[in-house]
Amino acid sequence: MPAFSLSIDAAQLLAQIHTLGAIGADESDGGRTRVAASDEDKLGRDQLVQWMRDLLLEVRVDRMGNIFGILRSPSDEGDRQPLMIGSHIDTVRNAGALDGSYGVLAGLAVVRAYRAAGVSPKRSIIVAAFTNEEGVRYQPDMTGSLVYAGGLPVEVALDLIGTDGTRLGDELARIGYAGDLEPGAILPREYLELHVEQGPILEAEGQLIGVVDNLQGISWQKITVRGVANHAGTTPTRMRHDAGYVAAAIITFLREIVVGAAPETTLATTGSIRFEPDVINVIPRLATFTVDLRDPNEQRLQSAERQLSDFLAEIAEREGVTIECERLARFEPVIFDAALAADIEASARGLGFSYRRMTSGAGHDAQMIARIAPAAMIFVPSRGGISHNPREHTDEAHLVCGAQVLLDVVQRRLAAD
Ligand code: GLV
Ligand code: MN
Ligand code: MN
């Protein structure tokens, strides 16, 4: 390890988390909403870019709106690839302050440690904020990092139409973040992402640091059921083609298969549903809803998808409705880089922090960047395992410990050159 000593400015990191968390604040309940490429996302981006400039970073924005703050190493030669630290600052609706933002701002805290010590890193360090990680407005999720890693052509991504009918490319241009850098232009030698766990495991086990060595597969579909609208008071049950009932039956079926599976690793969620005409005394003629399926094992994920598809065929026939499925996202499980995970573990141990190896249940940009560079993640505990909720919380001391691990891993990697 290097002779000089670097440290995280805890107060500054926590203050920035607080300031960014106040942007896009919801009217009540302490949440915030900065969905990708919205006006609120622009305000968050502007603040982030300002902080990058304050640290005298070179700021680049690519065609996907991904933002990069680059701390150049004077010893950088063309073939010395940078170390990248990244995450996202877009949010779900009515979100907590930490999901994504913590990782980006901890990246700035690492850079600030170098700046404060007057030390230049042996390789350049890039802090990245990727566009539309959450996938709330545009699907697939993790769009910016997916494109960056070559998993989707940029033109296709910019043409994505959002849930509000907007085109992603138009919205990025409108908010001033349609950059000119080609996605993927800067290939990192390694990628690190620090994130709140968003689940209950670390807290329940009294562990401080999660060394994340794999991430489960994700399957997103939109299902449209077309039945026949009819009178709620006059139509006998056996004569109904009730899109609402069929939607409910599908959701119930999903719960049954995941609970019945052994091991019980598959997760199924319907987070969005809409009926038409959506009135109390009319049998719905249309139901549209989403299905989010996840499993760390690709075969089990495929099995859940197959069971769903068989059930759709069966219930469509039985109820006299038609059912269409649209694929919104599909990502296989990812195994992170073993050497990088070992470095995270060594840093946690060296700092005297308790830790455990774990799987990420949430999707992350690291899962995409793992296609082009060794990647791994660091987790800190989430109180009560709550996330995607304004009540998301991690103790300040734990947030600082996570950033210290990140800084230590960065120093470890750069010292190894
Ligand atoms: C992102 O937060 C996801 O896992 O859906
Ligand atoms: Mn996140
Ligand atoms: Mn999230």
Query: pLDDT class for 113, splitting at 50, 70, 90?
Result: very high
Q: Give the angle 266-267-271 at the CA atoms, nearest 5°.
A: 160
C-beta of 134 in contact with ligand 1 (< 6 A): yes
In the numeric block, the tokens 């300040």 are attached to 396
Ligand 1 centroid to 385 CA: how many Å?
Answer: 14
Distance CA 31, CA 225 (A): 33
Q: 44 and 23 in contact (C-beta within 8 Å)?
A: yes
Greater model confidence, 262 or 48 = 48
Q: At 40, is the secondary structure helix, strand, or coil?
A: helix
Which atom from ligand 1 is nearest to the alpha carbon of 198?
2
Provide the whole-model pTM. Answer: 0.94
Task: Express each pLDDT in 277-328 by its tens digit.
Answer: 999 999 999 999 999 999 999 999 999 999 999 999 999 999 999 999 999 9
Query: pLDDT class for 162, splitting at 50, 70, 90?
Result: very high
Tell me the average pLDDT across 323-345. Answer: 98
Ligand 3 centroid to 33 CA: how many Å?
Answer: 12
Q: At 152, is the secondary structure helix, strand, or coil?
A: coil
Among 141, 267, 295, say which to mutate for ligand 1: greatest number of ligand atoms within 8 Å of CB: 141
Residues in the chain: 417
Give the chain's count of helices (H) and strands (E). 12, 16
pLDDT of residue 28: 84
Ligand in closest contact with the CA of 292: 1
Ligand 3 is an ion; its neighbours by CB within 5 Å are 99
Task: Express each pLDDT in 89-109 by its tens digit.
Answer: 999 999 999 999 999 999 999
C-beta of 100 in contact with ligand 1 (< 6 A): no
Ligand 3 centroid to 140 CA: how many Å?
Answer: 13
Query: pLDDT class for 253, splitting at 50, 70, 90?
Result: very high
Residue 1 pLDDT > 80: no
